[in-house]
Amino acid sequence: MDDVASTWAREDLSALQARGLRRYLEPLDSPQGPVVRVGGELLVNFSSNDYLGLAASASVRAAAIAAVERYGLGTGASRLVVGDTAVHHRLEARLAAFERAEAVLLFNSGYAANTGIIPALVGAGDAVFSDALNHASLVDGCRLSRARVVVYPHADVEALTKALAETPARRKLVVTDTVFSMDGDVAPLREIVEACRAHGAALMVDEAHATGVLGARGAGLCEELGLEDQVDLRMGTLSKALGGQGAYVATSRAVADLLISRARPFIYSTALPAAMCAAAEAAVEAVEKYPALRERLWRNIRRFSDGLRALGLRAEPRSAVFPVVLGGPERALEAARKLREAGVLVKAIRPPTVPEGTSRLRFCLSAEHTLGHVDLALESLRQVGVHERGEE
C-alpha cells in the first residue's frame, strides 16, 4: 500500500533500524513467571516487573475468575456512566487502608493516572517541577498540564529548592518517581518533602516500582520512610508487584473528588473490568498476609547485587531493578542476544526510554526466582564478558 502515511512510516522505520532503535513484538507462549516460553525456548525471565510473582498466583487468578462469573468481562462504560461496580469501591477502600490514606481512586494504568492527575491539579499560570529521569508518563502529564515545566537534575534537591524559590507561579507541584524504573535508584524523598514544605508546593510521587517491594507492609517508599501523611498524592500500580493491570492514587478525599470531575483519562475511559479489581484485591491481601514473598525478593536482590559487584559492575541493593549500562544500542542488543543463548531473557533498553549513550540491560528480580536462576544470570554475564559501558 502506497498511501502517504505508509511512506512516512517506511522512512522513519528505516532511520530507526539504522540507529539500532527499531522495536519488535515478541509474544510469550506461557504465563508470566520466572521461567517463560518464547518462540519455543524456555528462558529464565529477568525482564518482568512481576516482582512478587503474583501475576500467575492461584489465589489471584481464582478471584478474577469468580468476578468474571458474577460480573462478566467488560464494564461497558466509564465509571461515571454505568461502568462502576461494588468491586471497584471495595478495592479502593482496601487500597486506602493499605496506603493509610483518606481516599483512593482507580485508573486504568499508571500512564493514564499520571497523564490525568497532573493536568487536573495544575495548568496555565502554575509550575510543575519534574526530576530529569522521571518516567515518560510523568513527563507527558507535565506537558499536558500546560503549566510551566521546570526539569531539575536527577535527585538534585539543592537544584529543586533553588527552582522552587525562583519560579513565580500560582500553584507549585513537584513530581518524582520514588524508585526510578530504569536505574533502580531511590529518590531523596525526605529532603524533597522538606523543600516542598519550605516553598508551599504540593508533592506527587510515583510508587510504581516501590509498591509491594519497599516498606514494612510493602506500601512503598513513603511507608518505609514514614512519610505517608506528608506526601499529597501517591500513585501506585496494580500491574507490577501486584501482578495485574491498572493503577491508583492515594490522596485526600477532596483531591480524589476533584479527579473524578476533572481527570480526563478517568472520565473518558471504560472502567477497569471488575475481574481485574477482584484480582488486585486478592493481590493486596497476599502482600500483607505473606511477608515471606518480600523476604524472598530481597534475598534475591542482595544475592544479585553482591554478584554484580563481584563482576566489577556497579550495584546497590536499593530496589528490584538493576541496570547494566553498556553505551550504544547495538552493544546492548548484542549482549542481550548472547545472554539469551545462555538461557537468560533480559531485554535491551534503548533511547528514548533511556538517555543517548546509556543503552543497557535492565535486570528485574522476582520473589519467584530461585538462587539458581540468580546465579545463572550472574554466570552468564561473566561468560559473556559484560562490563558497564562496554569496557571489555
Q: Which residues are catalytic?
A: 181, 209, 240
* Closest by Cα among 391, 239, 278 to 326: 391
Measured in residues, the chain has a length of 392
Alpha helices in the chain (DSSP H): 4-18, 58-71, 86-99, 110-121, 136-145, 157-166, 189-199, 221-225, 253-262, 264-267, 274-289, 291-310, 329-341, 371-384
Phi, psi of 202 (to 5 degrees): -85, 155
Indicate left, alpha or beta for 343 from its phi (over 0: left) and psi (-120 to 50: alpha): left
Q: Are 50 and 213 in contact (CB under 8 A)?
A: no
Neighbours of 353 (CB within 10 A): 16
Q: Could you tell me which residues are beta bridge partners of residue 28?
A: 38
Q: Which long-range contacts (CB under 8 A, 24 or more apart) does 19-22 make?
A: 19/329, 20/328, 20/329, 20/330, 20/333, 20/350, 21/329, 21/350, 21/351
Q: Are 85 and 93 in contact (CB under 8 A)?
A: no
Q: How far apart are CA 336 and CA 86, in angstroms?
A: 45
Indicate left, alpha or beta for 187 from its phi (over 0: left) and psi (-120 to 50: alpha): beta
Q: How far apart are CA 363 and CA 347, in angstroms?
A: 8
